[in-house]
Structure 1
Amino acid sequence: MHTVIFPGSFDPVTYGHIDLLSRASRLASRVVVAVAVNTSKKPLFSLEERCVLLAEATADIPGIEVIPFSGLLADFAVEHKAEALVRGIRGATDADYELQLAQVNKTLNPELETILLPANASTGFISSTVVKEVFKHNGDIHSFAPPCVKKALLKKQL
């Protein structure tokens, strides 16, 4: 496969995201990390900050491109000539939700496949929300997110 898209809000990037991106980079020569503008969420980090953090956190993974996006993912995939979307799933709830999204995207773009990657046991419990909550309560996040995230969170003074 040449190009896959890994979409998300990444507020902030976690080791779970990085694990999935590393695995996706072995499936395709180009992995477009689509950093979403999600109007239903109020992100802690701006779109630009999330893109910078992702670029820093994935600098050692070959084939990664970080690109902000808004609108329909199916259209973004056409624009970037992607053959597939890659999504991580942590459990049954994620799988049900991702199956629905895959069906919507397949209806909007019949050429677009969705690849669901199960999270590794060592990172499957990590979410951006967990990282922010642990940090907010003065917990150690070094096992959950890269150092650039801790540095960025310190600047936010939660």
Structure 2
Amino acid sequence: MTTRRLAVYPGTFDPVTNGHLDIIGRAARMVDHLTIGVAVNAGKGPLFSLEERVDMVAETTRPLTKERGIEIDVVPFSNLLMDFAVERNATMIIRGLRAISDFEYEFQMCGMNARLNTTVETVFLMASERCQFISSRFVKEIGRLDGDISGFVSPLVRERLLDKFRELDGNSSA
């Protein structure tokens, strides 16, 4: 009997970017089932609600499920990452790295997670060259200032961002 490889890829995904999709696509080649954990993370003051973020991630990853024949589910979570991984029966946590600055934080988190549970491994994937500079924060800033974000997010996410900015602008002038 072959053991299924189950992994969790956590994040805030506010919004999901092409950088996230790059990591998700590459992780999908390594595992049999990938759970994308969308963190509540109210401390970051997300632009999108938890439900909106879960929906965007689910919609943008649906083609990967068909293309790669892998099970991908998108689930919100608000507990410790390690507890979430155990709940999902994951043996791996996938983390993306863009730059040295990411590594220091991720290295510390990996160490803490290893102390909490030695049976779940953290696997780091370096961002592809074309995605190393993409961050949700920059995408939101560029989009808010009417810059072209089409190279950084899917068409669906681009439209949702533009709708959200119009909604915010409409509410601020009322």
The alignment's TM-score, normalised by the length of structure 2, stands at 0.88
Structure 2 stretches of 5 or more lacking a match? 66-70, 169-174
Q: 1:96 maps to which residue?
A: 104
Q: Partner of 2:76 in structure 1?
A: 68
Q: Which residue of 1 aligns with 2:93?
A: 85
Write out per-residue CA displacement over residues 92-151 of structure 1, whole angstroms, 9 at most, x where no aligned residue. 111111111111111111101000000011011000011111111111111000011111
The residue number in structure 1 matching 2:17 is 14
Report how far residue 154 of structure 1 moved: 2.0
Higher fraction of helix: 2
Q: What is the CA–CA distance in structure 1 between the aligned matches of 2:56 and 2:74, rounded to whole Å? A: 10
Residue 148 of structure 2 is aligned to residue 140 of structure 1: yes
Task: Tell me whether 70-79 or 146-155 shows the greater mean CA deviation.
Answer: 146-155
Q: How far has the Cα of 1:61 moved from its partner?
A: 1.2
Partners of 1:141 and 1:154 lie apart in 2 by 10
In angstroms, what is the RMSD of aligned CA positions?
A: 1.0
Unpaired segments of 5 or more residues in structure 1? Answer: none
Q: Which residue of 2 aligns with 1:59?
A: 62
- What's the TM-score, normalizing by structure 1? 0.97
Which residue does 2:45 correspond to in 1?
Answer: 42
Q: Post-superposition shift, 1:153?
A: 1.3
SS of match in other structure, 2:122? strand
Question: What is the CA deviation profile of residues 66-107 of structure 1, one whole-angstrom value per residue up to 9, with x for unaligned ones?
Answer: 000001011111111000100000111111111111111111
Equivalent residue pairs, number = 158
The separation in 2 between residues aligned to 1:150 and 1:119, in whole angstroms, is 21
Q: Hey, what does 1:33 align to over in structure 2?
A: 36
Task: State the Cα distance separating 1:5 from its structure 2 match.
Answer: 0.5
Paired-residue identity, % = 46
Q: Quote the Cα distance in structure 2 between the aligned partners of 1:10 and 1:70.
A: 14
Amino acid at match of 1:154: L
CA distance in 2, matches of 1:64, 1:123: 22
> Which runs of at least 4 in structure 1 moved beyond 6 Å after TM superposition?
none
Matching residue's letter, 1:19? D
Alpha-carbon distance in 2 for matches of 1:125, 1:100: 22
